[in-house]
Structures are given as structure tokens and as C-alpha cells.
Amino acid sequence: MELGLAGRRVLVTGAGKGIGRGTVQALHAAGARVVAVSRTQADLDSLVRECPGIEPVCVDLGDWEATERALGSVGPVDLLVNNAAVALLQPFLEVTKDAFDRSFEVNLRAVIQVSQIVARGLIARGAPGAIVNISSQCSQRAVTNHSVYCSTKGALDMLTKVMALELGPHKIRVNAVNPTVVMTHMGQANWSDPYKAKTMLDRIPLGKFAEVEHVVDAILFLLSDRSGMTTGSTLPVEGGFWAN
């Protein structure tokens, strides 16, 4: 299925690893012009070697002022993937202010800030666009030790809907992708314990965790005009977890 992404300028956050890196690689292969945002310079350096021609931007999106300096003059962007996130897992009774603040700064506030920058540019140009927010199956289901992470993703789902409502008249579509555990480095680190993994896999009808390409395929579809009548949605890529 031709997605028509060639020549489009796409900004991807959390581009250094995992889902973000896979998204950059797929967009580059599809002929898109990619702005890759990561807080880790070494990841960007290796990504540039893999995908010549991408534009790397190194910034910690948890820092509002630094983000404004880094992306405020990024130029025309057609499509946006808000992928950057942290997962700081703590039992509810041990949640710390630092973990709470850091999680909401990166997982929610940065989505608002980067989306504002991109959406304002699209509106000023009178151009249509699409934004994809990477949420989680945890946005709608409780998971032990994930109280803050689940909260950020639940908030992200509702933010996605409000953004779709307000940006729709400007021909900007906004959707979320909600994966199960994905076998990235972060996913492996948080779900390496066999007992813990089994408790989750037993709730997934397909009986497996997702691979990066499963999520990337959903992202590319929602970025493309093939999903031109889809906005405000939360697309599950979770093997049936929500059906259980």
C-alpha cells in the first residue's frame, strides 16, 4: 500500500532508540525528510550513519526552555511523531516527586510543547498535517508499579482527543497508538523477569509482546493520507489485551 510519505518533512521525538529509531528508519526508507530528536548524541550520531540526510537535534524534552531553543526555529514540518517517553516504575506508596515530575514533563508536557510548535507552523502555512502520539495499553488498564506511567498515558489519550477536536478545523489530524510491551531495550529491561512477563502475557490473547515493526506500521498508516478520515483515535497494538 503506497503511503505517499516521500518528500514529507517529519519530526520524530525519542528517535535514538526503540520505536522512535524504527520509525525514523522506516520513514527514511519511504523517502521522507526526517528531523530526529533525541537527548543522546551518540544515538543520533549512529542514526545519521544509518540514515544519511536526516536532521539530528539533541535536546532533553523535559527542559521546556531548551526545547524551545532547539525546535522553535525548526522550520516547516508536515508530520509529527511524539514518541519520547520515560517509564519510571515505583509502587504507589513509594512514588517520588522527582519520578512524578520527570514522567509528566517528558510523557505529557513535551507532547504539548512540541505539538504546539508544529501545529502553529502548519496553521500559519495553511497546510494540512498529522500528529501521532505514542501512548500505551496502560492508558486504559491498571498495571502494578505503573501508577505514574499509567497516569501519563491516560492523560495522553485524552490530550490526543482534545487536540483532534481543536486542530481538526485546521485539517490537522491527531491520533494515538497504544502498544503492549514492545521488545525494545526499555521493554526488555522492565519485563525481563519471567514471572512478571507471564502475568502480562496471560492477559494477551495472542500470547506475545509486540515487535518494533508492529508499532511502526501503525504509526506510518496514521501519518499517511490513507487514514485521512481518522482522528482522535487510540489505535491498540496490543494483541487483544483490551479485549480481555
Cα–Cα distance, 67 to 70 (Å, whole number): 5
Which stretches of the chain are DSSP H helices? Answer: 18-29, 41-50, 64-71, 97-104, 110-125, 147-167, 185-190, 194-201, 212-223
One-character DSSP codes across 195-236? HHHHHHHTT-TT-SPBPHHHHHHHHHHHHSGGGTT--S-EEE
In terms of Cα–Cα distance, which of 159, 240, 179 is closest to 23? Answer: 179
> 124 CB contacts (<8 Å, ≥6 apart)?
none
Structure-block grid coordinates of residue 162:
482534545
Q: Is 80 exposed, middle or buried (0-12, 13-18, 19+ CB in 10 A)?
A: buried
Structure-block grid coordinates of residue 191:
519485563
Structure-block grid coordinates of residue 87:
517509564
Active site residue 195: no
Q: H or E stretch including 131?
A: strand 129-134
Residue carrying C-alpha cell 525494545 = 184
Catalytic residue among 44, 149, 159, 236: 149
Asked if 111 contacts 159 with a C-beta cutoff of 8 angstroms, the reply is: yes
**Residues tagged active-site:** 149
